[in-house]
Chains A and B, each alone.
Chain A
């Protein structure tokens, strides 16, 4: 096997069972995930990291949730009509990710591209866990997922998130404020409770999934500098 592999290439690493038929495919690129709730500055940081990597001469591919050719439109349509059950929603998002992993992420990694994902399985696991789905079931379901080289989590206090979300949209997202869960009729309270629960889920996953937590309460520039330095050190050490 080693003889056939090009310099710098290695076998892919999956969290568990799932895409068994792709296990021995050699890849050369790197896979970086940025997680964090809406208003954590996640998308801004993905953009900044992408242009930094490109200016350093790397090919970069951006992915995220609901971006598969197969499922994305279906999720949007489903959300507009009858509310779906929690298991159904989780499985639909899982199909969306699996499609992207097989058709976008893996081919990019084979070609030596750096893949930067704006959210990944961790958001889905956290959202589903706070809605009552079992941790064990979730982690085996997402066993098909590729293990990233780095996972960042932008940690922002719920009250700061509320402020940022309101400043940007003048409204709160239905699901991101946990309105579907009926935890409180008071939307502010509901938002805070929901985001706290999500944050707790992320803390619980931090160790087992080797997440790098970054204090997202800091300014865009400060967060960007910290994140890019860590990525730079990782890539430089290869």
Chain B
């Protein structure tokens, strides 16, 4: 696989797929929302989707979480079901229709979490092998402590699976969360080169990070903007 074009089992598509990845509290959701605002202002067709948001699947997953029924395998399969539903009905058809698709978390979240939970890496990758590779994946690198402080501000407790309590890392949920997030970070770091992540230093201020995102995305927009007026191209070049 060379160059940018998104490829997978379905072959090439005209649209662009942009993904943000990183641990909770890395600031990735804020950044992708700001990117969406910018693309919308440029008058482009944008679709945003986030992890674990399929209506058909969410009830099952949240029921399983509430009752603490999930094992690493069922946890993985339900998230794969959620992803497949959004992929089959939204992401893939919209990429075919030349949309810019923005994903808050993508298959790399599954790779990281499922492998940390003890699923076989080869199996997890095969399950998600139908998914097109993104044109760009921004990885928000942040020290675990910083991310934790951001997440825990204004919250009194962590949820069971969120804290990785199913892994029996520690009986203290904060300690468990710290260890769990640390392992997720290790997984992300191991993917940086192989999956060609664009690493964003997420300790920088929000405006700086957003400028970096826009600079990276701008060249992808040329085909969309050819038919639009010159003023737009200028706005793209200046990331406004």
Contact = CB atoms under 8 A, between A and B. Distances in A.
Interface of A: 16-21, 69-71, 73-74, 77-78, 81-82, 84-88, 91-92, 94-95, 98-99, 102-103, 134, 137, 140-141, 143-144
Nearest to A97: B77
Contact of A140 (B59, B85, B87, B126): B126
Interface of B: 9, 54, 56-57, 59-60, 63-64, 67, 69-74, 77-78, 80-81, 84-85, 87-89, 118-120, 122-123, 126-127, 129-130
Contacts of A16: 123
Contacts of A73: 60
Contacts, number: 99
Nearest to A20: B120
Secondary structure dominating the interface of B: helix
A191 to B, nearest CB: 26
Contacts of A86: 88
B157 to A, nearest CB: 24
B81 A137 contact: no
B74 A95 contact: yes
B85 A84 contact: yes
A157 B74 CA distance: 36
Nearest to B86: A88
6 contacts: A16-B123, A21-B118, A70-B64, A137-B129, A143-B126, A144-B123
Contacts of B60: 70-71, 73-74, 92, 95
B57 A18 contact: no
Which of B63, B77, B129 has the largest number of chain A CB atoms within 10 A?
Answer: B77
A30 B119 CA distance: 25
